[in-house]
Amino acid sequence: MKDFKAKDFKKVVVFHGLCKGCGLCIEKCPFKAIKFSPKDLGYYSTPTVEIDIEKCTACGLCEIICPDSALKVRKNK
């Protein structure tokens, strides 16, 4: 599990043990803020994802689209 934070207003957590590397979140992210991680492996030993927190707006689409609940997005107001 890795936490990504920026400017204390958003937080994205990737649960690597749940991620199967399907890439749905990468495909659906409107800001191209998600890519496969070159170093982290998840379920089935497939590459998991990592978040570019500078591009991320914490819209939550990745959390909604993930079939395995491997992403958690929080946006503080």
Domain ranges of the chain: 2-67
pLDDT digits (tens, 9 = 90+) for 12-50: 899 999 999 999 999 999 999 999 999 988 888 899 999
41 vs 3 pLDDT, higher one:
41
Residue 21 in contact with residue 44, Cβ under 8 Å?
Answer: yes
6-10's contacts with Cβ under 8 Å and 24+ in sequence apart are: 6/53, 6/54, 6/56, 8/76, 9/58, 9/75, 9/76, 9/77, 10/53, 10/56, 10/57, 10/58, 10/73, 10/74, 10/75, 10/76
Of the options 3.30.70.20, 3.40.50.300, 3.40.190.10, 3.30.365.10, the CATH number for the domain spanning 2-67: 3.30.70.20
Average pLDDT over every residue of 54-63: 93
Instruction: Specify the pLDDT at position 5.
Output: 52
Instruction: Specify the pLDDT at position 11.
Output: 86
